[in-house]
Amino acid sequence: MNLVAVGVNHTTADVELRERLAFSAQQAEAALASLRDMPGVREAALLSTCNRTELYCLTEDDPGPDFTAWLAGSRHLPVERLAAVLYQYRGEQALEHMMRVAGGLDSLVLGEPQILGQMREAYARAHEAGLLNGELSRLFQEVFSVAKRIRTETGIGANPVSVAYAAVSFARHIFADLKKSRALLIGAGEMVELVARHLHEQQVQEITIANRTQQRADALATSVGGRGISLEELPVALERADILISCTAAPLPIMGKGMVERALKKRRHRPMFMVDIAVPRDIEPEVGELDDVYLYTVDHLQEAIQENVRARQEAAREASDLIRDAIVRHRRQRREQDAVSVLRDYREQRTALAESELQKALQQLHNGGDPEEVLRRFQHSLVNKWLHAPSVTLRKMAAEGRAEALLVARELLLDDDQ
């Protein structure tokens, strides 16, 4: 059986092509059904995210089916366009690639944790489709085991390397328990959406999203169990906010020192944590001079992110060592598995010889033969038949001068390494 990993990711294909190659959950089910009927494919799984689409297959032959043509046909793309960006790995390289993907080492954001969950979903979907019959399933378990070790034994995910996650991480340093905090987000773009998701994952008590167009604020707030408001409602909403994160495209600041001072009085000077991600800034710099305000800008976050990137790169080197060790173990296990099949065949052969001689001995006893004589003939005949094939082979190797093979035979047959 041959393991193959085929796909595209953010380093080989632009976003337009990745969008064309993306599979929804329903499309993935249909694709798996198509793979199941593909000649030469024994087992298969399909991973599809915003940054990658990959197939993991066990094939009967090498090189096996034309997955480039299959993928191009399934997404209605010219084969030539796809062939220029598609990568293919085989055998141990394919397994190593799967481990790097699951461990977050091949991600756009180094060490991001979501990919492991997405691989588990791909595994579950393939299992439900009846496309994991044993060996590929075991390989997936090896991949998941290594990814778990990377998460627990290295610092690959300990430090935030995205602006959105860094903003939430800063908030966790100010407030010991985010579950008791209220968050106010200004804007409804991609950055605020990411911040909202991170805060929702931290189970923040309340999320309010303010935007110039309240309809967009409502839509985003609904997705995270929050509420949307217009910018005109900011002064009142600010009074309840422990955490404020802003990222709009406004040309001038939308929040001044006076507005914040009035909110602090209403809050009885309970501290407020603010992050201004916008460029140009949404919050006047003078707000940071207030005693009860912790104001950070995108520059503060970038400094922390750069340091965290360096830390993750070191962790990535440690993770690569774990993967190399796992590949070595896998290689050893595969070699041991090869020995198992030889041993099984050898046992079956020896057992058949012994059964044949045993039946002869039993028949002799049934015919009144002397038990001691029957047993001696049984022993003599069985040993001769067991040794016949090895004797012929050993004499042949000796005649050919194969000294090394004779040493191996001695170690194997006599439990002797001399």
Residues annotated as part of the active site? 50
Please, are residues 348 and 341 in contact by the beta-carbon 8 Å criterion?
Answer: no
For residues 56 and 45, what is the distance between their CA atoms, to the nearest angstrom? 5
CB of 140 within 8 A of CB of 123?
yes
Handedness of CA 61, 66, 68, 74 (dihedral sign): negative
In angstroms, rounded to a whole number, what is the distance separating the alpha carbons of residues 101 and 119? 9
- Using an 8 Å Cβ cutoff, are 155 and 103 in contact? no
3-state secondary structure 95-154: HHHHHHHHCCCCCCCCCCCHHHHHHHHHHHHHHHCCCCCCHHHHHHHHHHHHHHHHHHHC
Cα angle for residues 100, 103, 109 (degrees, 5° grid): 95
**What does the alpha-carbon distance between residue 62 and residue 58 come to, in Å, rounded to a whole number?**
10
- Pick the closest to residue 270 from 285, 290, 256 (CA basis): 290
